[in-house]
Every structure is written in structure tokens, then in C-alpha cells.
Structure 1
Amino acid sequence: MFEWSFLAGVLTATAPVLLAALGGLLCQVAGVFNIALEGQLLWGAFVAVVVSDLTGSAWTGVVGAVAATVLFSALLSGPSVALRADPIVVAVGLNLLALGLTAFLMRQIFGSGGTYSSPDLAGLPDLGELGVDVPVLRDQSPLVPVALLLVVVMAAWLTRTRSGLRLRAVGQHLDAAQAVGLRVSGYRHGVTLVAGALCGLAGAQLSLGNVTLFSEGMSAGRGWIAVVAVMLSGVRPYRLLLACLLFGVAEAFGFRLQGAGLPQQAADAAPYVITLAALVLAAVARRRRRSYEHA
């Protein structure tokens, strides 16, 4: 049954993926294929919980997550842009590093593995607590409307500003961009670090907004879903939003099925099955368009 609570669940599930995917889209526009979103999201979620637990402030946790994930993303930017290493190899290494490092530090900081939660851990406030009385937004953290707003901002920036058009030139017409004196490496360094900041926000939303805890591997493939969303979007922010909403609908529907008695494993698999199906359908549609063009 489609109701306000279901739509609210869709937005809650969509927000972390959308924030990470916006970072991936920026990188894609600049010609950097960033598949480190999974590791960056997980690292941001971990740091948000650690800082929030130490300071008692969820917003300090968000700031800490953004700053730490920007530094973490420099491990991708440096080798892949400055040293021209294979970005896919570097990104896979970062994903593995984030998975292992968060598990190790969790035991060092919290004294146990698995899942950490505490009554003293500060989560992000709901918009209802801040005076927002819109049913679909009442139980959301402030980062959810921020994610939606960033889609509009990014779409306008990429198409209507000089810097946005230059960034597109760096990714689409590299030789021309270099010929007019654009610092290609500077743009690519910049967007990789900005992508890190967005993944930090995504991680903070996941661990302090969607829930108030950290669990080993809690990104659970959301970074990879974000990569798929970027591939489906054709580097268009509004298409990216639709792709991420598809994942959100699937996850919210999976929770409903689980509540109706479907095994948890089947419900958890629903978003990924639907995302893979969308990727296959997009590939088929792309081939058909190419065949029509050559006909």
C-alpha cells in the first residue's frame, strides 16, 4: 500500500545513495571513473559515529565525516590524477582498505566488533523536531532535502556556469580543454575531493540519519549502486535522481515484503536485483538506439 510512510521510506533509502552518486557523477563529468564510492561511504559512516560519540554532537560528526572522507579521497586523487595510475585499481584498493580499516579501528576504539550503538550516541535530528510538518519529510534528517537540493544545484551549475561548462569540456573534449589552457589535473583533483565530501555526507546520513549506529560493512553495496546510478544517468543529475529513487523504491518495498513474512535475505536482495535489471534494460535500449542510427 502506497502511503506517506512508504514514500518517506523511499527518501530515507535514497538519500545516502544519491549523495554518493552525485560525487560519482562529478568525477564522471571530469573524466574520472570513480568506483571508490563504496569505501568512501563506509569510511564516512564510521568517522561520523566516532566523532559524534566522542563529542556528543551529531553535526560535529557530520563535519568530521566530510573532512575525513575528503582526506581519504586524496588517496584516490593523488595516484590516479597526479601519478596517472589506473583509477580502477586504486579505487578497488581503497574499497578494501576502508572495509578492513573500519573493522580494525572499531575494535580499537569501541572494544568490540560487529555493531556499535549507544544511548549516548547523538543522531541527526528529524525535520519534525525543527518545525517541519510535511508528512513525507517530518521523520527525515536535514541531509535528505539537502541531497535533493544538490541535484537541482548541480544540474544548473553544469549547464549554466562557466566553471561547470569547463568541467564538462575537461571530460568530453580533453584536447580542446588543454589547448585553451585549462588545468585538467586541477579540475580532476578538485572533483575527486568534492566527491569525497559528498560521500562523507552520505556516510553520515547512513549512520546518523537512517539509523544511529555503526555496523561493519554497513554500506552494504550502496556505493556500488551509486556507481550503477551514474552509469544509468548519462551524467545528467535528474536522471541520476530517478536512478537512485529506483533503488530507494526497491529497498522500501523490500522492507514491506519482509514485514509481510518474506525471508530477510530475499528482501535484502530486492534492491540489487532491480538495479541489475535496470542496468540490463539500459544496455539493451542503448544497443537498439545504435542499431537504429546505423540502419
Structure 2
Amino acid sequence: MNLALLISPEVLAAVVRSLAPLLLLGAGGLICHRAGVFNVALEGLLLLGCFTAVAASAYTGSAFLGAVTAAVAGAAAAAGFAFGTVTRYGHPLILGSAVNLLIAGLTTFALEALFGVRGTYQSPDLARLPHWFSGAAGIPGIGPALAALTPLGLLALAAVPVTHLVLHRTIAGTRLRGVGDHAEAARSLGVRPDRYRFAALVLSGILGGLAGAELSLGAVALFTENMSAGRGWIIVLALLLTAGRAGPLLLALACYAYTQALGFRLQTVGLPMQVSDAAPYLATLVLMVWFGARRPRAQNQAERKRFSFGHRGG
């Protein structure tokens, strides 16, 4: 196989397009993880962001308003999830799964109600996010990757590293990590765990909405039913198996984005579509299991105790 096919500028550009929404969603999931919140609603938040971004863009003609609407919708959905789990002590796995199913059903219904179509909505008049560096496409090597960046793509590149710095270099981040590590100890120092966890969920909703806007209005301008395609679940598993560490999380997401981009590229030389579709999930799962297996058993047990599943102790 030609090595240039594996590391071509086109593959690198596809990696950037695939990785941007994952980084935004992953940053929100990382914040929740460190706050001790088991946020399995990431899949639904991403899908909601995709739909609301496209709908707002279609009705207003502005991709910016589409992204803002997606962020607001994500925050509202996450706030409802936070009310059920943090305020009312509901089981986060059950409520999170309910949110995912509800959003999947609502977006399918709204797609037909608002646009009169089923499956996919696409229009040539649909406003897309701008590509500020499109003139750099002719630069050898990295040019296509730079041209693929949108404003949300630039935000995504900084999202996980900035989140890591905030969590470890600010007072608010230290308190949030304290809430996740030992809620009772944090409460004894005057910190309200419920407030930090509620805020973490709402922030993950905002980032999830922006991730959806990037996915639906970045490289393409369309909405397809179940457009999130399991990306939220990939991040949930990555956070669990990497213990919420930013470095391994970035590596897992980059692995997913690269294998997805490479799979699309290899379809042009005869790779079956079923193989290219399954490759990102399989490669990422193998990598994450490897991370999990390398951790000491005591650390794995401590990780399972981090999360509050509906009891008032957290």
C-alpha cells in the first residue's frame, strides 16, 4: 500500500473535520467526569446540537445564529438532565439514556414537521460555518487541514488543553475536582457539590451543542437522523477507560478521527464500506481497553466509586 495514502494532506484534512466536534464534546464530558457526574447524555446533546443548528441556520440564514441556538438548546437539555440527576437525585444512567432516546425521537419528528422530509434535510441555501483559512489550501502538506478549520474548529483545538489547565490551575477547577474526588470533604470546606455538578452538566450541554453545530454546519451543511452516530458513547467510554486524563482522551479521540478519515480514503481503493464504518469504533475500543488494562486495580476500583448514582451522599 502506498504510504502517501495513509498520511496524505486529504487524510489530514479529514482528520481535522472529524476531530473538531469530538474535542468540543470531549471537553464537556471531561468536565463532568472530574466533577463526579456520569454524563451518558452526551450522545443526545450532540444530536440536538446538530438539529437545532441546521434548523436555526435554515430559518435565519445565519450559521452564527445556528451555532448560538445549538449552544442554548444544549444548555437547556443539560439543565433538565442536571435537575433530574443532581437536584432530584435520579439515576444518571437511566435519565441519561432517556434523554438520548427522547432527543432522537424529537429530532426525527421535528425534521418532518418543520421541513417535510424524512431521513436527511439538505438545502443549497443552508448557511455554513465560515472557513477563515480557505486560502491556505494550496500550502503543501498542511494546507488542506488549515482550510478545513472553522471558527468552532479553532475553539475545538484549544478545548481539551484549556479544560485541563482550568481544572488544574484555577481555584474553581480545583474545587470541581475536589467535588468529584470526595464530595463530603469538599462540603466540609464550604463547597456545594450540587452547584458544581449542575454547572458542569450545563457547560457540557453548551459544548455539546457547539459540537453539533460543527458537525452539521462545518464540513457539510445538512442534518441526518441519528447524525451523532455513537460519538457521544465513544467519549463516555473513553473517559471511563482513561480515568478522565486529558492526554489519553486526546489520543483516543485522535485515533477515532484518523481511522474514520483513513477508512473513507481507503474506500476509493476498494475497501468495503462495512469495514471502513466499523474500523474507527474497533480501533478506538482496542486503544481504550489497553489504557484501562494498564491501570492498577485499585485505581479502577476508585474510579468506579467516583460517580454518584442517585444517592444523597454526593
Do the aligned partners of 2:26 and 2:160 also contact (CA within 8 Å) in 1?
no
Match of 2:18 among 13, 26, 33: 13
Equivalent residues in 2 for 1:175-254, closer than 5 Å? 175-254=184-263
1:141 has 2:150 as partner: yes
1:233-280 deviations in Å (ceiling 9; x for gaps)? 322223322221111111011111212112212211110111221232
Do the aligned partners of 2:17 and 2:148 also contact (CA within 8 Å) in 1?
no
Match of 2:71 among 66, 73, 83: 66
Q: Which residue of 2 aligns with 1:126?
A: 131
Q: Which residue of 2 aligns with 1:39?
A: 44
1:25-84 deviations in Å (ceiling 9; x for gaps)? 100101101011001100000000000000000011000000011001112100100000
User: 1:160–1:213: structure 2 CA closer, same or farther, 3 Å change rule?
Assistant: same
Q: CA deviation at 1:129?
A: 4.2
RMSD: 1.8
Do the aligned partners of 1:31 and 1:171 also contact (CA within 8 Å) in 2?
yes
Match of 2:62 among 49, 57, 60: 57
Structure-1 separation of matches of 2:196 and 2:62: 34
Structure-1 separation of matches of 2:15 and 2:241: 19
Structure-1 separation of matches of 2:228 and 2:222: 12
User: Which stretch shows the higher mean deviation, 20-29 or 135-144?
Assistant: 135-144
Specify the code of the residue in structure 2 equivalent to 1:206: L
Q: Which residue of 2 aligns with 1:87?
A: 92
Structure 2, unpaired ranges of 5+: 301-314
Structure-1 separation of matches of 2:168 and 2:130: 34
Structure-2 separation of matches of 1:35 and 1:196: 12
Specify the code of the residue in structure 1 equivalent to 2:39: N
Match of 2:285 among 248, 253, 276: 276
Structure-2 separation of matches of 1:212 and 1:80: 34
Query: What is the TM-score of this pair, normalised by structure 1?
Result: 0.94
User: Which stretch shows the higher mean deviation, 123-132 or 273-282?
Assistant: 123-132
Q: Which residue of 1 aligns with 2:171?
A: 162
Q: CA deviation at 1:288?
A: 7.7
Do the aligned partners of 2:16 and 2:148 also contact (CA within 8 Å) in 1?
no
User: Which stretch shows the higher mean deviation, 126-135 or 278-287?
Assistant: 126-135
Q: Where has structure 1 moved over 3 Å in runs of 4 or more?
A: 129-134, 287-291
Q: Which residue of 2 aligns with 1:102?
A: 107
1:91-120 deviations in Å (ceiling 9; x for gaps)? 000010011000000000000111000011
Do the aligned partners of 1:11 and 1:245 also contact (CA within 8 Å) in 2?
no
Do the aligned partners of 2:253 and 2:284 also contact (CA within 8 Å) in 1?
no
Query: What is the TM-score of this pair, normalised by structure 2?
Result: 0.88
Q: Which residue of 1 aligns with 2:118?
A: 113
Do the aligned partners of 1:232 and 1:240 also contact (CA within 8 Å) in 2?
no
Secondary structure of the residue aligned to 2:295 is helix
Match of 2:27 among 5, 22, 33: 22
User: 1:121–1:68: structure 2 CA closer, same or farther, 3 Å change rule?
Assistant: same
Identity %: 45
Structure 1, unpaired ranges of 5+: none
Structure-1 separation of matches of 2:183 and 2:82: 18
